[in-house]
Amino acid sequence: MDHFQFKDGSLHCEGVALATIAAAAGTPTFVYSAATLRHHIRALQAAFAPIDPLICFSVKSCPNLSVLRLVAAEGCGMDVVSPGELQRALAAGVAPSKLAYAGVGKTHTALTEAISLGVGCLNVESAEELELVARVAAELRQPASLALRVNPDVDAGTHRHTTTGTKATKFGVSPARAEELFERMRDHSFARLEGLHLHIGSPVLDAGRYAQALDVALALIDRLQQRGHAIRTLDLGGGFGADYETGQAPTPDAYAAAILPKVLPLKQRGVRFLLEPGRFIAANAGLLLLRVIRTKRESGKTFVICDAGMNALLRPSHYDAFHFMWPVQPPAGLVPTHRTTDTGLQPLETCDVVGPLCETGDYLALERALPTMREGDLLAVFTAGAYGMSMSSRYNAQPLPAEVLVDGGTATLVRRRETLTDLIAHEMHTAPLSA
């Protein structure tokens, strides 16, 4: 569900026409819908109400400060994986106690900051990191509440770049190693290992994979409890899907149906739960607004060349991801009723939708049937709110896009477009390097 709809033949975000946004903000621009963000958060809160989880929005999916402030105002905490994301969450007004902090490469400096602040759930990814965390907590003489990320060796059934729960990946520790580490930390004065963290990948379209991962985690919890280790926190991670095509992703209720029966007994024993959704909340809440520079017809192919491609939205070329796209002001009779490769509409033209970069991998869609696109037309690339702007780059010296947040009838520029001057600003002043 989202609030991007065609009204009178023209695509709107809530009450604002995308053509109006393009005229005011230019393109390429990411446009977010506040009502959609809120709707998704509330749907998750309702589906998982029986375990009353702290929903920690995954900052990496959509780190714009105004989006984070909106998410925080809904009562969410945040999942962060770097000092930069931590800074964003704090700037959005999130209390450190409502933060989950994961990532395989936390440094001494990052851990010192996290423990000093009192991050609510510090997720440890390895035996080596645990040793450092324990040392930092002791140096600071400050208690640290830790959860160990367990790698359940469950295939999330997603792209190989975003599968994180198999033992071939760099994330977490095996259940056997987890038992060993709980024993090792048993009497530590400051490092309190009292939780488990799971995150098997993204997007996980088969809710049953969560159940499989939980079976591994619950068996581990049983063994730990038998040895006298109290588990106070279970962080269930993120990974819930989004509708890149209409009706593609399981509903929050479907995910809850797979997860809740497994974990309700723990809730009754006082365990607190965290969820770390990013994509589910943000993906359908954003689109990428582009302008067609020209349509090139050559050697039997049609290339719709837009003013951004993989530099703004990396997912099609990096993950082979499908993103529905459609002109903002399509010809009469060509307004789609659902978002899929085959809209059933005619007449359409098969084309490659590409960006301006000097790379063949710079595409947003290959062999896609669209209404005939002409120079100056606006194109909307849907479901781009998650892992869109956050993965964008300045490749080919392209300035980063602008970001606009729409709430009802109001559109706000929440990140100005970078300028060409911005692109060289950090290189204008050189300095001799002294060791």
* Range in contact with ligand PLP (rule: CB under 6 A) among 186-194, 275-283, 327-335, 377-385: 275-283
- Pick from 76, 102, 147, 312 the residue near ligand PLP by CB under 6 A: 102
- Contacts with ligand PLP by CB under 6 A: the residue count is 18
Beta carbon of residue 37, minimum distance to ligand PLP (angstroms, whole number): 13
Q: Which residues of 322-331 are buried (b: 16+ CB within 10 A; e: fewer)?
A: bbbbbbbbbe
DSSP calls for 255-291: HHHHHHHHHHHHHHTT-EEEE--SHHHHGGGEEEEEE
Is residue 114 part of the contact set for ligand PLP (CB under 6 A)? no
Beta carbon of residue 56, minimum distance to ligand PLP (angstroms, whole number): 8
Is residue 238 part of the contact set for ligand PLP (CB under 6 A)? yes
Beta carbon of residue 23, minimum distance to ligand PLP (angstroms, whole number): 32
Please give the backbone phi and psi of residue 266, each rounded to the nearest 5 degrees, phi first: -70, -40
Is residue 403 part of the contact set for ligand PLP (CB under 6 A)? no
Taking the least distance from each CB to ligand PLP, the nearer of 155 and 418 is 155
Q: Which of residues 160-189 bind ligand PLP (CB under 6 A)?
A: none
Q: What is the dihedral of CA 97, 100, 103, 107, to 10 degrees?
A: 0
- Per DSSP, 405 falls in state E
Is residue 277 part of the contact set for ligand PLP (CB under 6 A)? yes
Is residue 151 part of the contact set for ligand PLP (CB under 6 A)? no
Is residue 284 part of the contact set for ligand PLP (CB under 6 A)? no
Is residue 79 part of the contact set for ligand PLP (CB under 6 A)? yes
Place of tokens 């730990």: 224
Examine the residue annotation and report whether 62 is marked as an active-site residue of this protein: no
Q: Pick the closest to residue 56 from 221, 179, 239, 216 (CA basis).
A: 239
- Per DSSP, 242 falls in state -
Taking the least distance from each CB to ligand PLP, the nearer of 371 and 388 is 388
Is residue 286 part of the contact set for ligand PLP (CB under 6 A)? no
Q: Which of 56, 76, 306, 358 is an active site residue? A: 358
Element (H, E) at 128: helix 127-140
Is residue 77 part of the contact set for ligand PLP (CB under 6 A)? no
Alpha-helical runs (H) found in 326-371: none
Taking the least distance from each CB to ligand PLP, the nearer of 79 and 129 is 79
Contact (Cβ atoms closer than 8 angstroms) between residue 312 and residue 387: no
Is residue 202 part of the contact set for ligand PLP (CB under 6 A)? yes
Is residue 250 part of the contact set for ligand PLP (CB under 6 A)? no
Is residue 279 part of the contact set for ligand PLP (CB under 6 A)? yes
Q: Pick the closest to residue 385 from 278, 257, 290, 304 (CA basis).
A: 278
Place of tokens 């809440």: 285
Find residue 325's DSSP bridge partners.
381
Neighbours of 312 (CB within 10 A): 27
Percent of the chain as helix, strand, coil, to the nearest 5: 35, 25, 40
Structure tokens at 372: 């005939």
Is residue 200 part of the contact set for ligand PLP (CB under 6 A)? no
Structure tokens at 227: 């040895």
Cβ-Cβ contacts under 8 Å for 71 (sequence gap 6 or more): 37, 41, 57, 78, 92, 281
Beta carbon of residue 271, minimum distance to ligand PLP (angstroms, whole number): 19
Contact (Cβ atoms closer than 8 angstroms) between residue 122 and residue 132: no
Taking the least distance from each CB to ligand PLP, the nearer of 239 and 309 is 239
Taking the least distance from each CB to ligand PLP, the nearer of 199 and 291 is 199
Taking the least distance from each CB to ligand PLP, the nearer of 195 and 277 is 277
Is residue 199 part of the contact set for ligand PLP (CB under 6 A)? yes
Is residue 198 part of the contact set for ligand PLP (CB under 6 A)? no
Structure tokens at 68: 């984070």
DSSP calls for 311-325: TT--HHHHH-----E
Q: Which of residues 41-60 bind ligand PLP (CB under 6 A)?
A: 58, 60
Taking the least distance from each CB to ligand PLP, the nearer of 216 and 379 is 216
Taking the least distance from each CB to ligand PLP, the nearer of 203 and 316 is 203
Enzyme catalytic residues: 358
Name the residues that contact ligand PLP, by CB under 6 A.
58, 60-61, 79, 102, 199, 202-203, 237-240, 276-280, 386
